[in-house]
Structure 1
Amino acid sequence: MPEHMRGDDTLGGQDGSDYQYTHRNKRSITLNLKEPAGIRLLKQLISTADVVVENFRPDVKFRLGIDYETLAKEHPRLIYASISGFGQTGPLAQRPGFDQIAQGMSGLMSVTGKPGDGPMRVGIPIADLCAGIFAAQGILVALLERESSGRGQFLHTSLLESMVYMMDFQTARVLIDGEVPTQAGNYHPTSIPTGVYKARDGWMNIAVFGSKIWERFCDILGAPEWVTDPRYQDKRGRSVNRDSLNAEINRRLAAQDRAYWVQRFNEGGVACGLINDVKEVIEEEQVRHLGIVKEVVSAHHGHQRLVGQPVQLERTPSLIVRAAPKRGEHSAEILHELGLADSEMKRLKEEGVY
């Protein structure tokens, strides 16, 4: 496991909210992998594991002698997952990789933000998150395949690959249509009207996909004549006349508050929702109903509320049973489980192995 744990270098370090959220349900052991004894202990831990996940630069695992090929000789059922910035091989493989670098290189920032304002990053570490999700999916597939083959395997993904994949229909526009996407701000680039609109008391999202939904939208907004208006009656016309249409929509929405429109549109089968700040998200009635916010008690920080897993398994539901540990908090506990004697552990501690 890499020594660095996400959250250490953010505001608050190990006591900060990012660290507390990211490392719940974990135990923490530190090993000095520059010491042969640290490598030996790591290999002992690996001998008890089904899966190893690492995010060193691609060459590091080979220098340390903990690459898949080396470990698989003794552990042929091992699933070994690597997450890197730009892939395991190639001209950029050894570059340091960070979320925002991948956002930019993947094209994501070129289609995010308002036209003319320059590129804009997404407000979460989306490349980090997606790479982790795709690695987890690969691990699950590898574990399933192992049931039939009896063998483990090496799998890898990267921040760059994850973001290129997540560009979705935008890359299809280039590859199939030969069209280079640009920024469309808060409005959907191809489905119009879909985007951010302003009611009397604030902002909301409205999504109008398809001709039938467009007709319902016009009727609810009190503008049935738009259905036959040459400027707006088809997708191309609404695209060419996007600005005038959006101005008309906002003018009509200004007559009522958001709650009124959210109810009217959704009752009429037109997708519409509030734009919440993050505090409002936690207080959202549906979020509370789904129970995604969990409670846990930290030995270091007391009572905490954290976001749990977004997938609900009915027979084996997920739980947050452990708050985030301090780095190395469980080193002694885990090494005891490996069978190390107290005297040996004392010696390794003095030598800086853990």
Structure 2
Amino acid sequence: MSAPLPLEGITVLDLTRALAGPYATALLADMGATITKVESMKGGDSTRGWPPFENEHSLYFDSVNRGKSSIALDFYTPQGKALLRRLALASDVVIENFRPGVMADLGLDAAGLRAEKPSIVIASVSGFGSTGPLSQTAGLDQVAQAMSGLMSVTGKNASELYRVGIPIIDIYAGVFTAFGIVAALVGRERSGGGREVSTSLLEAAIAISAFQGQRYLSTGVVPEPQGNNHPVLAPYGMFATADIPIIIAVGNDKQWVDLCALVGDPQLSSEADFATGSLRLSHRDVLTARLELALAARPGLEWVEALRKARIPTGPIYNYQQVFEDPQVKHLDMVQHVTRADGTDLPLLRGPISVDGQALPIRKAPPALGEDTEAVLTALGLTAEQVAGLLASGIVKTAATQTVS
């Protein structure tokens, strides 16, 4: 892009591991922020050891660490703590997902950092929140899916509950954290002062409950899973055709009437049992059987084409191979190629946001552990001799020293 990216010039010290925090900082990197990922010399981010692998590369790690630099550091020596604090105070933003209290143990308590640098923004992601009876408890995505009610509305029925097939709560917590950071940066432009922003997996998971949580709060009705059907709209879900199942999503009465005409059963729309959205929901099983009887006349992709022409929302159910072969996905240029430090090619998903009509490029491949240690320290103002001393004393490591040690 010719114009500066929205967050160009913003520096972020990334102390997060796993997925929620790294997802947040990947989004910030997409927008132009400079992300310095500080990792323990003892293996780095835990996801570096998580499958799936391509040779020695964790694709789990690669998927959320685009656009970042990595410095490998001994967190718990006095020299390491002093260096970490210096890195923090040189940054606009510090983001962490340690257990509450660990930042203070590292000499990075929010009050101390803000006293020394009032403009700093500090962001935290935890499992259950920074206070309360579970604040010191480890939390992971599926635990949050379970405790937030999400699993209770996901599955075939009330006795067959499923987790979502991706770590959806980690991802949402990351998105919310990135939003909080950007909001704090905007506020800083007005007030001159930084803020502390935080969320947790549990809060993020409950926050996305939308009408399901609101249904219970307002009516006392406990929602149950509806399989592949929409919980409150019909017809809206997965339907069998002559060959493959497809998704049909009717959102209003006009689409309902048009659907009935399109499948060759126009009188269906005027039958008493299906006259309103509430009635269609009440008689959903009978309605689905009627529609699938008509849909059995043609292959699924033919129906998708016809439904799209009629402006009725629809689509096939893809596996990931089919996703990346889809013409619309290819047109959006979702997959970009970057070169890792070891020279290997990595096809990588870009971020989902475009600016001024342009998709944002991936500016740097996911880093090897300690790949940028020397560059980060030099940018911090250390001399070559000082960097060499830190390397020699084992306070920091580079990717090269990781390999030979």
The reply to whether TM is greater than 0.5 is yes
Name the structure 2 match of 1:23: 65
| Alignment pair present for 1:153 and 2:202 | no
> By how many angstroms is 1:336 displaced?
2.3
Q: Aligned residue pairs: how many? A: 354
- For 1:192-207, list aligned pairs within 5 A: 192-207=234-249
Tell me which of 112, 135, 138 is aligned to 2:154: 112
- For 1:209-288, list aligned pairs within 5 A: 209-288=251-330
Name the amino acid aligned to 2:230.
H
Name the structure 1 match of 2:87: 45
> By how many angstroms is 1:333 displaced?
2.1
> By how many angstroms is 1:181 displaced?
0.6
| Alignment pair present for 1:128 and 2:170 | yes
Tell me which of 233, 250, 267 is aligned to 1:191: 233
| Alignment pair present for 1:353 and 2:395 | yes
Deviates more, 1:31-40 or 1:71-80: 31-40
Secondary structure of the residue that 1:96 maps to in structure 2?
A: coil
- Mapped to 2, the partners of 1:225 and 1:7 lie a distance apart of 56
- Mapped to 1, the partners of 2:392 and 2:352 lie a distance apart of 43
| Alignment pair present for 1:305 and 2:347 | yes
TM-score (norm: length of structure 2): 0.84
Name the amino acid aligned to 1:239.
L
- Mapped to 2, the partners of 1:212 and 1:178 lie a distance apart of 32
Name the structure 2 match of 1:5: 45
- Mapped to 2, the partners of 1:216 and 1:256 lie a distance apart of 17
Contact 1:6 1:22 in 2 (8 A): no
Structure 2 spans left out of the alignment, 5+ residues: 1-14, 17-38, 397-405
- For 1:139-178, list aligned pairs within 5 A: 139-178=181-220
Tell me which of 365, 372, 377 is aligned to 1:330: 372
Contact 2:152 2:158 in 1 (8 A): no
CA pair 352-299 structure 1, distance change in 2 beyond 3 A: closer
Contact 1:77 1:151 in 2 (8 A): yes
- Mapped to 2, the partners of 1:244 and 1:6 lie a distance apart of 50
CA pair 165-287 structure 1, distance change in 2 beyond 3 A: same
> By how many angstroms is 1:228 displaced?
2.0
Secondary structure of the residue that 2:289 maps to in structure 1?
A: helix
Contact 1:127 1:159 in 2 (8 A): yes
> By how many angstroms is 1:251 displaced?
1.8
Q: Summarize deviations over 1:206-225 as a string: whole Å, max 9, x none.
A: 00112221111111111111
Secondary structure of the residue that 2:47 maps to in structure 1?
A: coil
- Mapped to 2, the partners of 1:206 and 1:317 lie a distance apart of 29
| Alignment pair present for 1:67 and 2:109 | yes
Tell me which of 88, 99, 107 is aligned to 1:57: 99
- Mapped to 1, the partners of 2:332 and 2:384 lie a distance apart of 47
- Mapped to 2, the partners of 1:73 and 1:142 lie a distance apart of 17
- Mapped to 1, the partners of 2:358 and 2:311 lie a distance apart of 34
- Mapped to 1, the partners of 2:186 and 2:375 lie a distance apart of 31
- Mapped to 2, the partners of 1:317 and 1:251 lie a distance apart of 43
Name the amino acid aligned to 1:164.
I
Contact 1:215 1:227 in 2 (8 A): yes
Name the amino acid aligned to 2:47.
G
Secondary structure of the residue that 1:310 maps to in structure 2?
A: coil
Q: Summarize deviations over 1:64-98 as a string: whole Å, max 9, x none.
A: 22021110111110010001111111111110010
Name the structure 2 match of 1:84: 126
Contact 2:89 2:113 in 1 (8 A): no
Name the amino acid aligned to 1:303.
D
- Mapped to 2, the partners of 1:121 and 1:301 lie a distance apart of 37
Name the amino acid aligned to 2:121.
I
Contact 2:128 2:137 in 1 (8 A): yes
Deviates more, 1:107-116 or 1:342-351: 342-351
Q: Structure 1 residue runs of 4+, over 6 Å off?
A: none
Contact 1:216 1:269 in 2 (8 A): no
Q: Summarize deviations over 1:92-114 as a string: whole Å, max 9, x none.
A: 11100101101111100000010
TM-score (norm: length of structure 1): 0.95
- Mapped to 1, the partners of 2:50 and 2:290 lie a distance apart of 44
Contact 1:7 1:22 in 2 (8 A): no
Greater strand fraction, Structure 1 or Structure 2: 2
Contact 2:85 2:107 in 1 (8 A): no
- Mapped to 2, the partners of 1:198 and 1:5 lie a distance apart of 44
- Mapped to 2, the partners of 1:96 and 1:350 lie a distance apart of 35
| Alignment pair present for 1:314 and 2:356 | yes
Percent identical: 38
